[in-house]
A and B are shown apart, each in its own frame.
Chain A
């Protein structure tokens, strides 16, 4: 965000709204799917890895929120969040399929 747009109150409000929306909806989803993926990836017995991933889920969410408010442009933010959402959910889904097939 450049100094010029900063002065524009409307733009500013939109930026804040977009980021709050992203943090509440997309960030929450990414924190959930990310923890799910982590639960599949951790080399621990199932119930242990699920619990560990659960315990870390709020740390993941916090990191995601901080990233959302730190990233420079909204474009980068939407792209990053969508990418993270797709990668984590696809990854988790594939690992789940592998597990049930085995």
Chain B
């Protein structure tokens, strides 16, 4: 393409990186928040209290009674006992058998362990929807969003590899920072963020691709099995360790789930993650009890019982297949479900630094191409568009996410379609943030949006205090680290955005035509400090 290999790769890095970088930034931010998805869920339903002093048997009996009345004749039931990070409340899920019309109907409920009734809490899209956006986007059919995300992830991977290739002195440049040097400073920050977190970025990107392999690279498995989807699925199901069982068609009462759970507890100690029942009420019923995640791999140890007699049929302790173990480990690393609090925060920070890498790359692109000071050159429409998308996304998306949390507290509790409206608020605010820089000078747009974000996050603990019966001091005193942690994180985010706004205003003096002259890297001093 260009004269030398490195020049060609620089070109590819620049454009593969730029073309969808705003969606990539969105994926990084929402995906990073996903590491605290259930924590955000709980913050968004402050009515719910932590379940305490409930035995496993009580949970199972309550769940079973509810499932028997809600979903008799289902293909599968799933009971998730309360008290762990992923399911703080007692959860039940069911799926009806597949019909000719398609997949069977599904249902999900959070139960009050004492009454057995569904828990009453405000309707919310929660942390789950926020987390799902990073791989499904939103307002799009599931398949379409998934495919688009696959393409963008591949571009991210191309960006990473070409980035490594064009980077001659990875070690030396890592310690290079030239503040106040305009363009070079942005490049230095971009390099610093990318190199410091390179292992994480490579891992998160390639493992992200592993999720979409069957969707985007279907030919590999398909052709090897003579284009016989059935054979392929059977082979994959077998190595994945999934239990395949057909119903016998003759009814038989389901055995005691608590007795089977007791066997599992004897096996593992008290770390049951879920109890799945396949074909409850059928003679061929199977009960699969899975262990809480304790290793990196997504594979979870499981015990398989005969659902009628309660006899232990099989104990699956690990994958027996090496490539499957690799795939499971990559996916497990991506999801990070095994991570304890400290590692979870490390995931969170790494994800934010990834977003910073994308943002500084996008900013470097425009800063490098801005008209030279003193020249009469007019910025092209494309350049102007990138500038506006940068402001509206890099500074605007945090505002939109703060608005999402505000909406959760301020929308009427009994509003129809409340969960959807929380999301609408997020996207409406983001849209406004994308339009806003069109109406203002760039400098003003950046500063106003950063200040708005700072205010929105800083006030969030106050909104929470005013609309719920708890506040930060209370949760700190009570040692409720979930609510205190959310409030403190909001305050820290507000502080960082405020520092960015303040520094930007100080260093970026309005030019004679109120167009950008210098955008100093010192505005990102806070980000730099984090990485050190």
Binding site for B on A (CB under 8 A): 1, 15, 19, 31-33, 35-36, 39-40, 44, 46-55, 57-59, 61-62, 65-66, 69-71, 92, 96, 100
- Whether the Cβ atoms of B224 and A69 lie closer than 8 Å is no
- Write out the residue numbers on chain A whose beta carbons fall within 8 Å of the beta carbon of B11: 69
In the assembled complex, B8 has its CB within 8 A of some CB on chain A? yes
9 pairs of A and B residues whose beta carbons are closest in the complex? A51-B323, A57-B217, A32-B219, A58-B209, A69-B12, A35-B220, A70-B8, A52-B323, A54-B220
- Whether the Cβ atoms of B154 and A92 lie closer than 8 Å is no
- Write out the residue numbers on chain A whose beta carbons fall within 8 Å of the beta carbon of B327: 51, 55
In the assembled complex, B321 has its CB within 8 A of some CB on chain A? yes
Q: Which residue of A lies closest to B15 (CB)?
A: A16
Q: Which residue of A lies closest to B150 (CB)?
A: A58
In the assembled complex, B158 has its CB within 8 A of some CB on chain A? yes
Seed contacts A54-B221, A58-B157; 13 additional CB < 8 Å A-B pairs: A1-B2, A35-B217, A35-B219, A48-B322, A51-B221, A55-B330, A58-B154, A58-B213, A62-B154, A65-B158, A69-B12, A70-B1, A96-B223
- Write out the residue numbers on chain B whose beta carbons fall within 8 Å of the beta carbon of A31: 217
- Whether the Cβ atoms of A100 and B221 lie closer than 8 Å is no
Q: Which of A50, A61, A66 contacts B12 (CB 8 A)?
A: A66
Nearest-Cβ distance from residue B333 to partner chain A, whole angstroms:
14
- The interface on chain B, measured as residues whose beta carbon lies within 8 A of the other chain's beta carbons, has a size of 39
- Write out the residue numbers on chain B whose beta carbons fall within 8 Å of the beta carbon of A58: 154, 157, 206, 209, 213, 216-217
B residues 32-50 near A (Cβ < 8 Å) are none
Nearest-Cβ distance from residue A6 to partner chain B, whole angstroms:
9
- Whether the Cβ atoms of A40 and B224 lie closer than 8 Å is yes
In the assembled complex, B95 has its CB within 8 A of some CB on chain A? no
- Write out the residue numbers on chain B whose beta carbons fall within 8 Å of the beta carbon of A47: 235-236, 238-239, 321
A59 to B321, CA, bound (A): 21
Most buried by B among A57, A62, A100: A62
Nearest-Cβ distance from residue B215 to partner chain A, whole angstroms:
11
Nearest-Cβ distance from residue B297 to partner chain A, whole angstroms:
14
- Write out the residue numbers on chain B whose beta carbons fall within 8 Å of the beta carbon of A46: 224, 235
- Whether the Cβ atoms of A57 and B213 lie closer than 8 Å is yes
- Whether the Cβ atoms of A66 and B239 lie closer than 8 Å is no
A47 to B235, CA, bound (A): 7
Q: A47-B235, A51-B323, A55-B326 are in contact. Are A69 and B1 (CB under 8 A)?
A: yes
- Write out the residue numbers on chain A whose beta carbons fall within 8 Å of the beta carbon of B165: 66
In the assembled complex, B226 has its CB within 8 A of some CB on chain A? yes
Nearest-Cβ distance from residue B257 to partner chain A, whole angstroms:
33
Q: Which residue of A lies closest to B232 (CB)?
A: A50
- Whether the Cβ atoms of A32 and B217 lie closer than 8 Å is yes
B residues 1-41 near A (Cβ < 8 Å) are 1-3, 5, 8-9, 11-12
A58 to B162, CA, bound (A): 15
- Write out the residue numbers on chain A whose beta carbons fall within 8 Å of the beta carbon of B326: 55
- Whether the Cβ atoms of A66 and B236 lie closer than 8 Å is no
A65 to B16, CA, bound (A): 11
A46 to B221, CA, bound (A): 10
A45 to B321, CA, bound (A): 10
Q: A70-B1, A70-B5 are in contact. Are A96 and B226 (CB under 8 A)?
A: yes
Q: Which residue of A lies closest to B161 (CB)?
A: A62
- Write out the residue numbers on chain B whose beta carbons fall within 8 Å of the beta carbon of A1: 1-3
- Write out the residue numbers on chain A whose beta carbons fall within 8 Å of the beta carbon of B12: 65-66, 69
- Whether the Cβ atoms of B224 and A50 lie closer than 8 Å is yes
A1 to B4, CA, bound (A): 10
- Whether the Cβ atoms of B323 and A55 lie closer than 8 Å is yes
A31 to B12, CA, bound (A): 18
A57 to B457, CA, bound (A): 42
Nearest-Cβ distance from residue A57 to partner chain B, whole angstroms:
4
